[in-house]
């Protein structure tokens, strides 16, 4: 076909980056509505002929609809990935990516198109192309409501629905997002969208990193003239911002019909989008509560250019849609697929608290409450009454089962009461601490989209400044002016007063979501880990049974995840004076004082806290040491603990059994080992850190590493096999909050043992002949050498035994599969600058390990993550070391 010019439909120019020109064609389609009696010509990208050439029979067709001001080029990665998948023998899907009329390389007509017309246009195109089998709709931006409009009107053909950064409803009382408001303003619309390329320029500038100039030019290519940009302006003008807008009724039909489409749905989002906001995603999830959601953290409006979305789409189609398609090519009518949640009939988390409601003994001790340094004691009776009052008050003010409530309160009696009150009425608590940093904390809270935020003044100020959603409730009563400034509607005292004579609703089920706990962010953006009520109860039971916790045990905890479990365990608890989000603020005297006040027999601290407790032990007096001598169980978890540190901590608590459990936010207790067993394991000469045997009914398996360091093959318990650590336990998370692809990755290739729910931890290690687990590092830190995969921890342990070495990290440099091992060290004397280690020390380090060490670099301090100062950032070190050895990197990692 000749390449036409002017306002006719044309083929794109050849050579656009990433676009297969053979997929491009122009089709005449019998018109709909205002086009009746004529046949407008559309440009489409279509993989149908390519699939026929490959001999691949498609399961169905993906109809992909772009938004404004893009065109079908937007979907080029999906087109290419779908063809590759079919060529490799995977599921075949035909992809038809359209250029909407007035847009891209489709015809420019003299007509003005509203939403209803565009939905009808898409229907006419689908009828004309007559794709066989079921259809999956895919839309981005304003292509979202158009594609979903077709979905609502064609339920018998529909197999699935996917949208990226879009909306189907905007409250009439709210203004539309600022960028659209500016572009659509009277006197600005034409200049911003049609006469100039301002709107197009702004949209393309949203991509991070910036688009390659050739890709940016490809997006611009169909919009070179004012006449060809008319559709951009029409699209902006067609935003239904008022009830009487011509497209409002059509949008309401789409939004109102989504709950009845009855097929799997996938909602993808780039959270940095300034136009389609978290509230628009919330609206979609309320209309399609069964939908799978994946948020690509740090991506924005053009997430198709920023993240590998095509792989996610194709994986989701294989998992969720392909199984619903019958042999006849139609859908099976199966209900939308949802993640399975195991039932758990254990008693709820608040059960032991309420069982002691007539007990005037101490339940919780706040070591920081009194201005004179005295501790505040809250009895079981007082705590139970407060929990019931707050629960009833929250319910009266509109907090309902499933509502997310963000808690920005330091551990102590107030946070404990709020937490249990929320759990009792079925609200989902969102916990993300300040250790994430302001950006990480903001991403976490925004991603959770809480309906309510309970906070102290500092947290509420952050919520106000950063524009977090949710009704704000202050922990303490604030002056009226301060409350107005922070947008606070009421205090917890007001909530409790409301609930003084209130009635509690039915308690939630064990399978209902209870909490979203955010990970530390040390392995990427913090992820929200979702626990059900049954899983939290199972965690309580595992902790209580394994460590023999009873009502007289008493618990001192400076480890945030466990700071709230005392009432659930039925034992008194105290949080020592410290900033829980900064464990290194904990001192030995603070621990001793908390132990003395609570008569605690159990102390639970993070490794970072233990380090400082040992470092400040010189400040202990005789009374402090006597109190610590009464402790019978000492626990440290959150990161591997060096044996020397455990020994030093036990010297402070000489009658305690020192434990170092292994776990993670996804499963807070996996294995456990005592100091005597650590000593025994150290004598065995095995590589890695021994973290002990599984706790309770938990299970540990290994996925072996292949020759290039990938975890592959069936789960195994064979001793000595190194691979990725896979775990299962009754208290294992339900999943990640709105991270479908991450959830899938965490359970990938573990179906070989379907007897339990499994989680791929990302840790690498092996089991010994006593069923004990040894951790050898993280999967991203496995070094793929020409001799096979190398794990770093064993070599690091050997290097750290060399005189003069304080800490070590072993990282890889060079091309994948041919990487060389480099040791990066901190010295006991301290390095003035980053440099090659001196020859004598280098020789000693090389002789300390069987691992070939290509180079030894010394630094002033090894970089660590923001939450666990014991976790070395090896990925950062690897990039730095490669730069240093090539002469490109500054002196500090």
Calpha distance 164→147 (Å, rounded) = 11
Written as one string, the DSSP assignment of 171-200 is -TTSPPPHHHHHHTSTTTHHIIIIISSHHH
Q: Which helix (H) or strand (E) holds 636?
A: strand 633-636
Mean pLDDT, the chain, whole residue set: 90
The strand ranges marked E within 730-799 are: 735-736, 759-767, 773-778, 783-785, 788-790
Instruction: Return the pLDDT at 749.
Output: 77
Instruction: Return the pLDDT at 372.
Output: 59
- Check whether residue 702 and residue 818 sit in a common domain: no
Q: What's the average model confidence in pLDDT over 526-541?
A: 94
Give the lowest-confidence range in 16-30, 82-96, 308-322, 796-810. 796-810
- Check whether residue 716 and residue 793 sit in a common domain: no
Instruction: Return the pLDDT at 868.
Output: 42
Give the lowest-confidence range in 193-207, 560-574, 747-761. 747-761
> Residues of 301-320 as b/e, b for ≥16 C-beta within 10 angstroms?
bbbbbbbebbebbbbbbeeb
Q: What's the average model confidence in pLDDT over 299-313?
A: 97
* pLDDT band, residue 875 (cuts 50/70/90): confident
Does any domain span residue 573?
Answer: no
Calpha distance 474→465 (Å, rounded) = 16
- Check whether residue 384 and residue 240 sit in a common domain: no
- Domain span holding position 689: 664-780
Q: What's the average model confidence in pLDDT over 272-296?
A: 95
- Check whether residue 388 and residue 407 sit in a common domain: yes
Question: Comparing C-alpha atoms, which of 195, 18, 39 is closest to residue 106?
Answer: 39
Does any domain span residue 392?
Answer: yes
Of all residues in the chain, the percent with pLDDT exceeding 70 is 91
Q: What's the average model confidence in pLDDT over 33-47?
A: 96
Give the lowest-confidence range in 329-333, 465-469, 664-668. 329-333
Q: What is the pLDDT of residues 354-400, one digit of tens each?
A: 999 999 999 999 887 655 567 899 999 999 999 999 999 999 999 99
CATH number at residue 854: 3.30.300.30
Q: What's the average model confidence in pLDDT over 252-276?
A: 96
Does any domain span residue 108?
Answer: yes
Listed residues 520, 539, 558: the one ending a domain: 539
- Check whether residue 307 and residue 445 sit in a common domain: no
Q: Does the pLDDT of residue 853 top 60, yes or no?
A: yes
Instruction: Return the pLDDT at 863.
Output: 82
Q: Which residues touch 486 (CB under 8 Å, ≥6 apart)?
A: 457, 460, 461, 463, 464, 472, 474, 478
CATH number at residue 260: 3.40.50.1820
CATH number at residue 694: 2.30.38.10
- Check whether residue 797 and residue 768 sit in a common domain: no
Does any domain span residue 638?
Answer: no
Pairing of the two strands 362-366 and 376-379:
antiparallel
- Check whether residue 750 and residue 801 sit in a common domain: no
Calpha distance 28→196 (Å, rounded) = 30
Written as one string, the DSSP assignment of 73-113 is GGGHHHHHHHHHHHHTTS--EEEEEE--TTSTTSPP-S---
Listed residues 539, 556, 588: the one ending a domain: 539
Of all residues in the chain, the percent with pLDDT exceeding 90 is 72
- Check whether residue 747 and residue 793 sit in a common domain: no
Calpha distance 564→412 (Å, rounded) = 8
- Check whether residue 318 and residue 387 sit in a common domain: no
Q: What's the average model confidence in pLDDT over 853-881?
A: 79
Q: What's the average model confidence in pLDDT over 418-425?
A: 97
How many helical (H) and strand (E) elements, i.e. helices and strands, does the chain have?
A: 31, 36
Listed residues 780, 811, 831: the one ending a domain: 780
Q: Does the pLDDT of residue 334 top 50, yes or no?
A: no
Instruction: Return the pLDDT at 316.
Output: 98
* Residue 612 to residues 283, 608, 609, 616, Cα–Cα distance (Å): 47, 7, 5, 6
Q: Does the pLDDT of residue 517 top 70, yes or no?
A: yes
Instruction: Return the pLDDT at 331.
Output: 53
Q: What is the pLDDT of residues 718-751, one digit of tens each?
A: 999 999 999 999 999 999 999 999 999 998 877 6
Q: Does the pLDDT of residue 2 top 50, yes or no?
A: no
Q: What is the pLDDT of residues 564-582, one digit of tens each?
A: 889 999 999 998 988 766 7
- Check whether residue 800 and residue 869 sit in a common domain: yes
Does any domain span residue 534?
Answer: yes
- Check whether residue 717 and residue 835 sit in a common domain: no
- Check whether residue 283 and residue 371 sit in a common domain: no
Kindly report the three-state secondary structure assignment for every residue of 829-850: CCCCCCEECCHHHHHHHHHHCC
* pLDDT band, residue 867 (cuts 50/70/90): very low
Residue 263 falls in which region: left (phi positive, over 0), alpha (psi -120 to 50) or beta: beta
Instruction: Return the pLDDT at 328.
Output: 38
Kindly report the three-state secondary structure assignment for every residue of 237-265: HCCCCCCCCCCHHHHHHHHHHHHHCCCCE
Does any domain span residue 414?
Answer: yes
Q: What is the pLDDT of residues 280-290, one digit of tens each?
A: 999 999 999 99
Q: Walk across the sheet containing 376-379 and list its strands.
A: 376-379, 362-366, 573-575, 555-557, 602-605, 633-636, 657-659
Q: Does the pLDDT of residue 66 top 80, yes or no?
A: yes
Longest CA–CA separation in the chain, Å: 97
Does any domain span residue 769?
Answer: yes
In degrees rounded to 5, what are phi and psi of residue 448?
-80, -20
Q: What is the pLDDT of residues 782-841, one digit of tens each?
A: 999 999 999 999 999 899 999 999 889 999 999 988 999 999 999 888 777 778 888 999
Domain count, the chain: 4
Does any domain span residue 626?
Answer: no
Instruction: Return the pLDDT at 382.
Output: 97
């Amino acid at each position: 076909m000749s390449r036409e010019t002017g306002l006719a439909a044309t083929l794109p120019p050849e050579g656009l980056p990433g676009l297969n020109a053979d997929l491009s064609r122009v089709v005449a389609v019998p018109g709909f509505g205002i086009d009746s009696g004529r046949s407008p010509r559309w440009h489409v990208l279509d993989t149908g002929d390519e699939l026929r050439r490959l001999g691949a029979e498609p399961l169905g067709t993906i109809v992909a609809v772009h938004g404004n001001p893009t065109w079908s080029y937007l979907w080029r990665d999906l087109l290419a990935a779908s063809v590759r998948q079919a060529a490799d023998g995977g599921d075949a899907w035909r992809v038809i990516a359209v250029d909407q009329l007035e847009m891209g390389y489709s015809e420019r007509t003299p007509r003005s198109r509203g939403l209803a017309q565009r939905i009808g246009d898409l229907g006419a195109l689908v009828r004309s192309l007559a794709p066989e089998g079921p259809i999956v709709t895919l839309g981005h931006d304003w292509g979202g409501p158009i594609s979903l409009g077709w979905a609502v009107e064609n339920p018998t053909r529909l197999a699935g629905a996917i949208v990226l950064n879009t909306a189907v409803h905007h409250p009439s009382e709210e203004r539309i997002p600022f960028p659209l408001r500016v572009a659509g303003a009277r006197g600005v619309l034409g200049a911003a969208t049609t006469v100039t390329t301002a709107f197009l320029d702004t949209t393309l500038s949203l991509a991070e990193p910036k688009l390659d100039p050739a890709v940016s030019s490809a997006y611009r290519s169909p919009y070179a003239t004012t006449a060809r940009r008319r559709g951009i302006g029409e699209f902006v003008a067609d935003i239904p911002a008022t009830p009487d807008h011509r497209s409002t009724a059509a949008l309401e039909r789409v939004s109102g019909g989504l709950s009845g489409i009855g097929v799997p749905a996938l909602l993808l989002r780039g959270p940095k989008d300034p136009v389609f906001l978290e509230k628009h995603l919330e609206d979609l999830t309320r209309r399609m509560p069964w939908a799978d959601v994946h948020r690509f953290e740090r991506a924005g409006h053009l997430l198709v250019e920023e993240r590998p979305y095509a792989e996610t789409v194709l994986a989701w189609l294989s998992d969720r849609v392909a199984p619903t398609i019958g042999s006849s090519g139609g859908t099976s009518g199966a209900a939308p697929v949802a993640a399975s949640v195991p039932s758990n009939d254990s008693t709820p988390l608040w059960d032991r608290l309420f069982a002691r409601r007539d007990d005037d003994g101490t339940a919780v001790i706040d070591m920081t409450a009194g201005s004179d340094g005295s501790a505040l004691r809250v009895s079981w009776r007082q705590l139970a009454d407060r929990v019931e009052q707050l629960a009833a008050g929250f319910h009266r003010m509109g907090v309902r089962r499933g509502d997310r409530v963000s808690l920005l309160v330091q551990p102590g009696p107030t946070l404990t009461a709020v937490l249990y009150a929320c759990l009792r009425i079925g609200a989902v608590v969102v916990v993300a601490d300040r250790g994430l940093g302001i950006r990480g904390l903001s991403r976490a809270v925004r991603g959770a989209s809480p309906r309510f935020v309970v906070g102290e003044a500092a947290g509420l100020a952050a919520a106000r400044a950063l524009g977090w959603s949710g009704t704000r409730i202050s922990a303490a009563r604030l002056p009226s002016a301060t409350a107005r400034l922070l947008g606070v509607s009421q205090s917890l005292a007001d909530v409790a007063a409301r609930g003084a004579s209130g009635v509690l609703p039915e308690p939630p089920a064990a399978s209902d979501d209870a909490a979203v706990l955010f990970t530390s962010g040390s392995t990427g953006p913090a992820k929200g880990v979702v626990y059900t009520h049954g899983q939290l109860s199972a965690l309580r039971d595992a902790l209580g049974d394994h460590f023999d916790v009873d009502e007289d045990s008493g618990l001192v905890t400076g480890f945030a995840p466990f700071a709230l479990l005392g009432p659930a365990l039925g034992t008194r608890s105290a949080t020592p004076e410290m900033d829980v989000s900064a464990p290194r603020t904990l001192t030995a005297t603070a621990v001793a004082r908390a132990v003395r006040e609570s008569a605690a027999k159990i102390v639970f601290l993070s490794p970072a806290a233990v380090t400082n407790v040992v470092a400040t032990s010189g400040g202990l007096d005789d009374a402090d040491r006597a109190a610590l001598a009464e402790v019978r169980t000492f626990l440290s978890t959150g990161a591997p603990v060096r044996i020397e540190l455990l020994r030093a901590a036990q010297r402070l608590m000489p009658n305690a059994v020192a434990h170092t459990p292994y776990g993670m936010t996804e499963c807070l207790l996996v294995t456990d080992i005592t100091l005597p067993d650590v000593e025994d394991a150290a004598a065995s000469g095995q590589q890695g850190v021994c973290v002990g045997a599984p706790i309770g009914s938990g299970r540990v398996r290994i996925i072996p590493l292949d020759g290039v360091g990938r975890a592959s093959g069936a789960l195994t318990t064979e001793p000595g096999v190194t691979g990725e650590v896979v775990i299962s336990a009754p208290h294992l998370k339900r999943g990640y909050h709105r991270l479908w692809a991450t959830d899938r990755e965490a359970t990938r290739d573990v179906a070989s043992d379907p007897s339990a729910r499994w989680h791929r931890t990302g840790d690498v290690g092996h089991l010994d002949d006593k069923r004990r687990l040894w951790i050898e590092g993280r999967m991203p830190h496995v070094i793929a050498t020409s001799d096979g995969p190398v794990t770093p921890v064993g070599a690091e342990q050997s290097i750290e035994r060399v005189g003069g070495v304080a800490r070590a990290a072993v990282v890889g440099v060079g091309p994948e599969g041919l990487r060389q091992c480099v040791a990066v060290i901190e010295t006991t004397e301290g390095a003035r600058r980053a440099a090659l280690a001196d020859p004598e020390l280098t020789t000693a380090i090389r002789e300390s390990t069987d691992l070939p060490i290509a180079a030894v670099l010394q630094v002033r301090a090894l970089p660590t993550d923001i939450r666990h100062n014991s976790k070395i950032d090896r990925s950062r070190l690897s990039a730095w070391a490669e730069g240093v050895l090539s002469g490109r990197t500054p002196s500090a990692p």
